[in-house]
Structure 1
Amino acid sequence: MRMKLFDSELKVMEVLWKEGNITAGQISKILKEEIGWNRNTTYTVIKKCIEKGAIERIEPKFICKAMISKEDVQAYETAELIERVFDGSKKKFFAALLSEKTLTHDELQQLKNLINQMK
Protein backbone atom coordinates (compact mmCIF):
# COMPACT_ATOMS: atom_id res chain seq x y z
CA MET A 1 0.00 0.00 0.00
CA ARG A 2 1.39 3.39 -1.00
CA MET A 3 0.44 6.57 0.79
CA LYS A 4 1.92 9.87 1.84
CA LEU A 5 2.20 10.31 5.59
CA PHE A 6 3.04 13.63 7.20
CA ASP A 7 5.57 13.93 10.03
CA SER A 8 2.87 13.98 12.71
CA GLU A 9 1.26 10.86 11.25
CA LEU A 10 4.63 9.12 11.16
CA LYS A 11 5.07 9.79 14.89
CA VAL A 12 1.83 7.91 15.60
CA MET A 13 2.77 5.11 13.21
CA GLU A 14 6.22 4.76 14.81
CA VAL A 15 4.52 4.06 18.15
CA LEU A 16 2.30 1.40 16.56
CA TRP A 17 5.19 -0.23 14.69
CA LYS A 18 7.16 -0.39 17.93
CA GLU A 19 4.38 -1.36 20.34
CA GLY A 20 1.95 -3.34 18.16
CA ASN A 21 -1.82 -2.99 18.54
CA ILE A 22 -2.54 -0.62 21.43
CA THR A 23 -5.31 1.75 22.47
CA ALA A 24 -5.46 5.37 21.37
CA GLY A 25 -5.09 6.28 25.05
CA GLN A 26 -1.81 4.37 25.27
CA ILE A 27 -0.54 6.08 22.10
CA SER A 28 -1.50 9.41 23.64
CA LYS A 29 0.42 8.66 26.85
CA ILE A 30 3.53 7.60 24.94
CA LEU A 31 3.52 10.69 22.70
CA LYS A 32 2.89 12.97 25.68
CA GLU A 33 6.03 11.57 27.32
CA GLU A 34 8.14 11.50 24.14
CA ILE A 35 7.21 14.78 22.46
CA GLY A 36 4.76 16.59 24.73
CA TRP A 37 1.61 16.16 22.64
CA ASN A 38 -1.72 16.55 24.39
CA ARG A 39 -4.53 14.00 24.05
CA ASN A 40 -6.51 16.05 21.50
CA THR A 41 -3.52 16.40 19.18
CA THR A 42 -2.83 12.67 19.28
CA TYR A 43 -6.48 11.75 18.68
CA THR A 44 -6.73 14.19 15.76
CA VAL A 45 -3.67 12.62 14.11
CA ILE A 46 -4.97 9.10 14.77
CA LYS A 47 -8.27 10.08 13.12
CA LYS A 48 -6.41 11.34 10.03
CA CYS A 49 -4.47 8.06 9.85
CA ILE A 50 -7.75 6.11 10.09
CA GLU A 51 -9.26 8.20 7.27
CA LYS A 52 -6.22 7.45 5.09
CA GLY A 53 -6.38 3.73 5.84
CA ALA A 54 -3.05 3.67 7.66
CA ILE A 55 -4.71 2.65 10.94
CA GLU A 56 -7.70 0.45 11.65
CA ARG A 57 -9.81 1.25 14.71
CA ILE A 58 -10.90 -1.88 16.57
CA GLU A 59 -13.62 -1.81 19.22
CA PRO A 60 -13.99 -2.05 22.12
CA LYS A 61 -11.50 0.33 23.73
CA PHE A 62 -10.41 2.15 20.51
CA ILE A 63 -7.54 -0.23 19.77
CA CYS A 64 -5.37 0.98 16.91
CA LYS A 65 -3.83 -1.43 14.41
CA ALA A 66 -1.24 -0.40 11.80
CA MET A 67 -2.49 -1.25 8.31
CA ILE A 68 0.76 -0.31 6.57
CA SER A 69 4.28 -1.41 7.36
CA LYS A 70 7.25 0.79 8.06
CA GLU A 71 8.95 -0.76 5.02
CA ASP A 72 6.04 0.28 2.78
CA VAL A 73 6.29 3.86 4.01
CA GLN A 74 10.07 3.88 3.57
CA ALA A 75 9.75 2.54 0.02
CA TYR A 76 7.13 5.16 -0.86
CA GLU A 77 9.12 8.03 0.65
CA THR A 78 12.32 6.88 -1.09
CA ALA A 79 10.55 6.63 -4.45
CA GLU A 80 9.04 10.11 -3.92
CA LEU A 81 12.45 11.58 -3.08
CA ILE A 82 14.11 9.97 -6.09
CA GLU A 83 11.33 11.16 -8.39
CA ARG A 84 11.22 14.71 -7.01
CA VAL A 85 14.92 15.44 -6.47
CA PHE A 86 16.75 13.10 -8.83
CA ASP A 87 14.43 13.11 -11.88
CA GLY A 88 13.43 9.52 -11.12
CA SER A 89 17.00 8.29 -11.50
CA LYS A 90 18.14 5.78 -8.89
CA LYS A 91 21.63 6.09 -10.32
CA LYS A 92 21.70 9.86 -9.61
CA PHE A 93 20.35 9.21 -6.10
CA PHE A 94 23.02 6.60 -5.39
CA ALA A 95 25.76 8.83 -6.85
CA ALA A 96 24.63 11.70 -4.61
CA LEU A 97 24.67 9.41 -1.59
CA LEU A 98 28.20 8.28 -2.38
CA SER A 99 29.46 11.79 -3.14
CA GLU A 100 28.65 12.97 0.39
CA LYS A 101 31.85 11.32 1.59
CA THR A 102 30.21 10.85 4.97
CA LEU A 103 29.86 7.08 4.69
CA THR A 104 32.13 5.04 6.90
CA HIS A 105 34.26 2.24 5.55
CA ASP A 106 31.82 -0.26 7.08
CA GLU A 107 28.82 1.44 5.46
CA LEU A 108 30.55 1.40 2.07
CA GLN A 109 31.33 -2.30 2.49
CA GLN A 110 27.70 -3.01 3.43
CA LEU A 111 26.52 -1.19 0.29
CA LYS A 112 28.97 -3.21 -1.84
CA ASN A 113 27.65 -6.40 -0.27
CA LEU A 114 24.04 -5.37 -1.02
CA ILE A 115 24.93 -4.69 -4.65
CA ASN A 116 26.73 -8.03 -4.96
CA GLN A 117 23.70 -9.85 -3.51
CA MET A 118 21.47 -8.26 -6.16
CA LYS A 119 23.58 -9.52 -9.07
Structure 2
Amino acid sequence: MEQDYRLAEGEYRFACLVWANEPLGSGQLVALANEALGWKKSTTYTVLKKLCERGILHNANGTVTALVKQAQVQQEESAAVVQKSFGGSLPRFVAAFLNTSSISEEEAAAIRAMLDDARRQDSDA
Protein backbone atom coordinates (compact mmCIF):
# COMPACT_ATOMS: atom_id res chain seq x y z
CA MET A 1 0.00 0.00 0.00
CA GLU A 2 1.34 3.41 -0.99
CA GLN A 3 2.03 6.00 1.72
CA ASP A 4 -0.41 8.92 1.99
CA TYR A 5 1.52 12.18 2.17
CA ARG A 6 -1.44 14.55 2.02
CA LEU A 7 -1.31 17.07 4.85
CA ALA A 8 -3.86 19.35 6.47
CA GLU A 9 -3.11 23.06 6.03
CA GLY A 10 -1.54 23.47 9.48
CA GLU A 11 0.52 20.31 9.07
CA TYR A 12 1.80 21.54 5.71
CA ARG A 13 2.80 24.95 7.09
CA PHE A 14 4.55 23.18 9.98
CA ALA A 15 6.37 20.79 7.62
CA CYS A 16 7.46 23.82 5.55
CA LEU A 17 9.28 25.13 8.63
CA VAL A 18 11.18 21.86 8.85
CA TRP A 19 11.96 21.73 5.11
CA ALA A 20 13.28 25.29 5.17
CA ASN A 21 15.45 24.84 8.26
CA GLU A 22 16.41 21.17 8.62
CA PRO A 23 18.16 19.75 10.42
CA LEU A 24 16.97 21.67 13.44
CA GLY A 25 16.65 21.09 17.14
CA SER A 26 13.19 20.49 18.51
CA GLY A 27 13.56 23.55 20.75
CA GLN A 28 14.37 25.66 17.71
CA LEU A 29 11.31 24.19 15.97
CA VAL A 30 9.13 25.16 18.94
CA ALA A 31 10.39 28.75 18.66
CA LEU A 32 9.86 28.82 14.88
CA ALA A 33 6.34 27.39 15.16
CA ASN A 34 5.48 29.95 17.82
CA GLU A 35 6.81 32.80 15.70
CA ALA A 36 5.44 31.69 12.32
CA LEU A 37 2.26 29.88 13.31
CA GLY A 38 1.45 31.22 16.77
CA TRP A 39 1.61 27.70 18.19
CA LYS A 40 2.31 26.75 21.79
CA LYS A 41 4.98 24.18 22.66
CA SER A 42 2.35 21.48 23.27
CA THR A 43 0.77 22.01 19.83
CA THR A 44 4.17 21.84 18.15
CA TYR A 45 5.07 18.56 19.84
CA THR A 46 1.63 17.06 19.13
CA VAL A 47 1.90 17.80 15.40
CA LEU A 48 5.56 16.73 15.31
CA LYS A 49 4.66 13.39 16.91
CA LYS A 50 1.80 12.86 14.45
CA LEU A 51 3.99 13.59 11.40
CA CYS A 52 6.74 11.35 12.78
CA GLU A 53 4.24 8.50 13.25
CA ARG A 54 3.13 8.96 9.64
CA GLY A 55 6.74 8.69 8.44
CA ILE A 56 6.90 12.26 7.13
CA LEU A 57 9.26 13.74 9.73
CA HIS A 58 11.88 12.18 12.01
CA ASN A 59 12.88 13.28 15.51
CA ALA A 60 16.05 11.61 16.75
CA ASN A 61 17.68 12.83 19.95
CA GLY A 62 15.93 16.19 19.62
CA THR A 63 17.01 16.77 16.01
CA VAL A 64 14.17 17.04 13.51
CA THR A 65 14.56 16.17 9.83
CA ALA A 66 12.19 15.38 6.98
CA LEU A 67 11.88 11.84 5.66
CA VAL A 68 9.64 13.01 2.82
CA LYS A 69 10.62 15.80 0.43
CA GLN A 70 8.37 18.81 -0.05
CA ALA A 71 8.07 17.98 -3.77
CA GLN A 72 6.59 14.55 -2.91
CA VAL A 73 3.89 16.15 -0.76
CA GLN A 74 3.16 18.79 -3.42
CA GLN A 75 2.84 16.11 -6.11
CA GLU A 76 0.36 14.12 -4.06
CA GLU A 77 -1.65 17.21 -3.10
CA SER A 78 -1.79 18.35 -6.74
CA ALA A 79 -2.89 14.96 -7.99
CA ALA A 80 -5.61 14.80 -5.31
CA VAL A 81 -7.00 18.22 -6.33
CA VAL A 82 -7.06 17.28 -10.02
CA GLN A 83 -8.71 13.94 -9.22
CA LYS A 84 -11.28 15.29 -6.77
CA SER A 85 -12.28 18.51 -8.51
CA PHE A 86 -11.69 17.71 -12.18
CA GLY A 87 -12.23 13.95 -12.45
CA GLY A 88 -8.52 13.42 -13.01
CA SER A 89 -8.53 15.64 -16.11
CA LEU A 90 -5.46 17.86 -16.24
CA PRO A 91 -6.82 19.82 -19.26
CA ARG A 92 -10.00 20.65 -17.28
CA PHE A 93 -7.85 21.80 -14.36
CA VAL A 94 -5.70 24.03 -16.59
CA ALA A 95 -8.79 25.46 -18.32
CA ALA A 96 -10.37 26.31 -14.96
CA PHE A 97 -7.14 27.92 -13.78
CA LEU A 98 -6.75 30.00 -16.93
CA ASN A 99 -10.37 31.18 -16.73
CA THR A 100 -9.59 32.96 -13.46
CA SER A 101 -5.86 33.74 -13.74
CA SER A 102 -3.39 34.94 -16.29
CA ILE A 103 0.15 33.75 -16.83
CA SER A 104 3.23 35.59 -18.02
CA GLU A 105 5.13 34.76 -21.20
CA GLU A 106 7.88 33.26 -19.04
CA GLU A 107 5.39 31.01 -17.25
CA ALA A 108 3.84 29.97 -20.58
CA ALA A 109 7.29 29.13 -21.95
CA ALA A 110 8.12 27.09 -18.85
CA ILE A 111 4.85 25.16 -19.19
CA ARG A 112 5.52 24.51 -22.89
CA ALA A 113 8.98 23.18 -22.00
CA MET A 114 7.46 20.85 -19.36
CA LEU A 115 4.92 19.55 -21.88
CA ASP A 116 7.65 18.99 -24.47
CA ASP A 117 9.73 17.08 -21.91
CA ALA A 118 6.74 14.95 -20.93
CA ARG A 119 6.04 14.15 -24.59
CA ARG A 120 9.67 13.15 -25.15
CA GLN A 121 9.62 10.92 -22.07
CA ASP A 122 6.41 9.25 -23.26
CA SER A 123 7.87 8.59 -26.71
CA ASP A 124 11.06 7.15 -25.16
CA ALA A 125 9.10 4.73 -22.97
> Aligned partners of 2:24, 2:47: CA distance in 1, in Å?
15
The number of residue pairs the alignment matches comes to: 117
Q: Which moved more, 1:27-36 or 1:63-72?
A: 27-36
The answer (yes or no) to whether the contact 1:16–1:66 under 8 Å persists in 2 is: yes
Deviations 1:37-75 (A, max 9, x none): 11111111111111111111212xx21111111000000
Q: Which residue of 2 aligns with 1:117?
A: 117
Residue of structure 2 aligned with 1:16, choices 15, 18, 39: 18
Gaps of 5+ in 2: 120-125
TM-score when scaled to structure 1? 0.87
> What amino acid is aligned across from residue 73 of structure 1 in structure 2?
V
Q: Which residue of 1 aligns with 2:60?
A: 58
Q: Percent identity?
A: 26
Q: Which residue of 2 aligns with 1:46?
A: 48
> What amino acid is aligned across from residue 36 of structure 1 in structure 2?
G
The answer (yes or no) to whether the contact 1:2–1:72 under 8 Å persists in 2 is: no
Runs of 4+ with deviation above 4 angstroms: none
> What amino acid is aligned across from residue 76 of structure 1 in structure 2?
E
In the superposition, relative to structure 1, how do residues 101 and 57 fare at CA in structure 2: closer, same or farther (>3 Å)? Answer: closer
RMSD over aligned Cα, in angstroms? 1.6
> Aligned partners of 2:88, 2:5: CA distance in 1, in Å?
18
TM-score when scaled to structure 2? 0.83
Q: Which residue of 1 aligns with 2:37?
A: 35
> Aligned partners of 2:48, 2:101: CA distance in 1, in Å?
39
1:97 aligns with 2:110: no
> What amino acid is aligned across from residue 118 of structure 1 in structure 2?
A
Q: Secondary structure at the match of 1:57?
A: strand
